[in-house]
Chains A and B, each alone.
Chain A
């Protein structure tokens, strides 16, 4: 771990506001993009980011300073996002869909994709499918880990993931 980061963490443990602000300024921009990928709108993403950082500063004493600090705070933000959506009872993951196959891709349609456009499409995805897409594709969780985290079956996780990708591709194609 970088010495500068270690000093910042120690400052945060002591409750030093300048250290807390420095950590916020360093990671908020990256984490805001993550929050936007989980939420329906910017207000909800900001709530998640705020709640996440309050958790980070509250639990920073428990960070063992051995692993990646960024990885640790990112996990807290992702868990906060899931909790946030769960609290608002917006996670409905239906096991009824049977989309075991992902439709063939047309790579040409991806040329004009940027963050704003793709987030616009992702926000239109059903909550459950969106969370599974983010956990699998961005955070690198396996379907087994996702099934345990969201209390669903591995099959549901896989089919929802394919559903998310199919819907996303369909939206991209329609927008061209």
Chain B
């Protein structure tokens, strides 16, 4: 490398070693410019905040609408309620879209939907003709069913004779359903609850996330000048599980992304600074699921979920007035927590279910590692979230 000449060294030393006072009014000019910038900054911030609030409201409204829409479909009354007796599962209709045609138009209401005690009295099967006939006697109803299976078209004919409360009604009903096929309906494979059955699926969620610490909590106080708000987070991942009994199953979920975030509005020197912290994890949930109810001829079911979760830190960032700063070094690499919730499942076909539900998750360990200025113990932080979960579950055929 070429050595520096004496002139270069003298010049460098003189520039670096000297201090020259700029005119006093220069700071006043800078301060004035900063004030002008602040005015626009405040207006711009308010506009941004309004936009964010509007977007949050729209997103929340869409999420709530989607949630209630899914509940509407999930909780829709079953077409036929005959019995929950598992021995009669073969006569349950497992699909929606049933068309009912009353051959006697004088009868306005059908007794279908009235839960009655049933017992199976006869069952015939003719695999050559592909016709399956069954006859049942209900409490005061005689029900005959004939199912025809022709390729992909399946139809069922119910003949019902009713005698109730001192008067007699004879009625023929014809029901046509996109039934799955007699061989499936009569097969043990159709029973999704059998022990050892394996399922896989995808899961996602929109969640209301919080970074619970002293700063966040104090933001709720009316006496504090700063405020805190939740941020909408999201999760997406895959899961696999196994039925360990007719009502219980174990599943492992791997979420590629699961973020926790918090928005702050802090008051400094006459104006508010908006900042938000976002901590993103990939996450593994090990969940125990307990089916607590099954409705609508098993078309819908409800499960409670609970289990531990392990998060692996992907990134942590702080956005101050729109400029992003990386804070990954300030947060712990692992998060240990609990996840629980309730999910409702709707059977779309014998193997595929769609589900939606509500989950709570809470990080038990402190995720804040601290900085050179703020030690970890000064800002103990636990991530928490309430999420609307949704997904698809595919039940693999049992061997």
Chain A interface residues (CB < 8 Å from chain B): 1, 3, 6-7, 10-11, 13-18, 20-21, 24-25, 28-30, 32-34, 36-37, 46, 49-50, 53-54, 57-59, 61-62, 64, 102, 105, 107, 110, 113-115, 118, 122, 133-134, 136-138, 165, 168-169
Measured CA separation A36–B273 after assembly (Å)? 35
A-B contact pairs, 19 of them (CB 8 A): A3-B373, A11-B268, A13-B273, A14-B273, A15-B41, A17-B34, A28-B21, A30-B19, A32-B20, A34-B15, A49-B26, A110-B6, A113-B14, A118-B11, A133-B11, A138-B11, A138-B16, A165-B7, A168-B11
Knowing A1-B372, A33-B20 touch, does A110 contact B38 (C-beta < 8 A)?
no
Measured CA separation A18–B27 after assembly (Å)? 12
Inter-chain contact B26/A20, CB cutoff 8 Å: no
- Chain A residues with CB under 8 Å of B27's CB are 21, 24-25, 28
Inter-chain contact B273/A15, CB cutoff 8 Å: yes
Distance between A21 CB and nearest chain B CB, rounded to angstroms: 7
Knowing A29-B22, A61-B323, A138-B11 touch, does A102 contact B268 (C-beta < 8 A)?
no
Distance between A12 CB and nearest chain B CB, rounded to angstroms: 10
- Chain B residues with CB under 8 Å of A15's CB are 38, 41, 268-269, 271, 273
- Chain B residues with CB under 8 Å of A169's CB are 7
Quick one: which of A13, A21, A28, A137 contacts B22, CB cutoff 8 A? A28
Q: Does B12 contact A (CB under 8 A)?
A: yes
Q: Which chain B residues (1-47) contact chain A, with CB distance < 8 Å?
A: 4-8, 10-12, 14-16, 18-23, 26-27, 29-31, 33-34, 37-38, 41
Knowing A14-B268, A17-B269, A28-B27 touch, does A138 contact B7 (C-beta < 8 A)?
no
Chain A interface, DSSP helix/strand/loop, else mixed: helix
Measured CA separation A173–B348 after assembly (Å)? 94
Quick one: which of B6, B14, B21, B26 contacts A50, CB cutoff 8 A? B26
- Chain A residues with CB under 8 Å of B4's CB are 137
Q: Does B221 contact A (CB under 8 A)?
A: no
Inter-chain contact B18/A138, CB cutoff 8 Å: no
Inter-chain residue pair count (beta carbon < 8 A): 116
Quick one: which of A21, A49, A137 contacts B11, CB cutoff 8 A? A137
Which residue among B4, B5, B7, B26 has the maximum number of chain A CB atoms within 10 Å of its CB?
B7
Distance between B315 CB and nearest chain A CB, rounded to angstroms: 14
Chain B interface residues (CB < 8 Å from chain A): 4-8, 10-12, 14-16, 18-23, 26-27, 29-31, 33-34, 37-38, 41, 266, 268-269, 271, 273, 320-321, 323, 325-326, 372-373
Measured CA separation A46–B22 after assembly (Å)? 7
A29: nearest chain-B partner, CB-CB: B19
- Chain A residues with CB under 8 Å of B372's CB are 1, 3, 6
- Chain B residues with CB under 8 Å of A13's CB are 273, 320
Q: A17-B269, A114-B14 are in contact. List 16 more A-B contacts (CB 8 A).
A: A3-B372, A21-B31, A28-B22, A28-B27, A29-B21, A29-B22, A30-B18, A33-B19, A37-B15, A49-B26, A58-B37, A61-B325, A64-B326, A105-B6, A137-B4, A165-B5
Measured CA separation A105–B9 after assembly (Å)? 13
Measured CA separation A24–B323 after assembly (Å)? 22
Inter-chain contact A32/B21, CB cutoff 8 Å: yes
Which residue among B11, B12, B321, B326 has the maximum number of chain A CB atoms within 10 Å of its CB?
B11
Measured CA separation A115–B223 after assembly (Å)? 55
Knowing A15-B271, A29-B20 touch, does A110 contact B14 (C-beta < 8 A)?
no
- Chain B residues with CB under 8 Å of A50's CB are 26, 29-30, 33
